[in-house]
Amino acid sequence: MITAFRRRGRASSHSNALYNSRHLWQSQKHQNLEVNIMKIAVLAIFFAASPAFANCIGSSNFYTCNDSSGNSYTVNRMGNMTNMQGYNAQTGSQWSQSSQTFGNTTLQSGQTNGQSWNQTIQTSPLGTTYSGSDSRGRSFHRQCNQFGCF
């Protein structure tokens, strides 16, 4: 079934949050990080954008959204895998992100304007560990718990 819906909140301006996980750590350090990867990816988009409404059409597993600034993104969920592609109207940049979850480990990778990045997220009762490399080739490793990220 295809439905049209309106997502309230921040729309999909592309920014460093999709390919620079530092924004993701900050926005989720006090949240339950055992949510599915789709929620993480969508939150990263929403927190990185300016306030706007995104008009979306599709099903819960495949939908396309456009906002009033001309930004757009498509989300395709298949089991434990989520693929996203988007366009930032302000910068003209195109981006993509793939996420796959196996138990308590989520593997993410993506590109923006040809620059690749990757991240592994591992959750445990003691907290969440983020590691990988950003789109500038810099590696990172961060551990977060209820007291913050270190």
pTM > 0.85:
no
SS3 per-residue string spanning the chain: CCEEEEECCECCCCCHHHHCCHHHHHHHCCCCCCCCHHHHHHHHHHHHCCECCEEEEECCCEEEEEECCCCEEEEEEECCEEEEEEECCCCCCEEEEEEEEECCEEEEEEEECCEEEEEEEEEECCEEEEEEECCCCCEEEEEEECCEEC
Give residue 44's pLDDT.
Answer: 53
Give residue 51's pLDDT.
Answer: 55
Give residue 116's pLDDT.
Answer: 95
Distance CA 146, CA 30 (A): 6
Size (the chain), residues: 150
Question: How do the pLDDT tens digits run along the chain, 150 residues long?
Answer: 444 444 444 444 333 333 334 434 433 433 333 334 445 555 455 545 545 678 999 999 999 999 999 999 999 999 999 999 999 999 999 999 999 999 999 999 999 888 999 999 999 999 999 999 998 999 999 999 999 999
Q: Could you state, in order of their start, the residue ranges of all structural domains in the chain?
A: 3-149
Contact 65, 28 (CB under 8 A): no
Give residue 53's pLDDT.
Answer: 77
Cα 135–Cα 118–Cα 49 angle in degrees, nearest 5 = 65
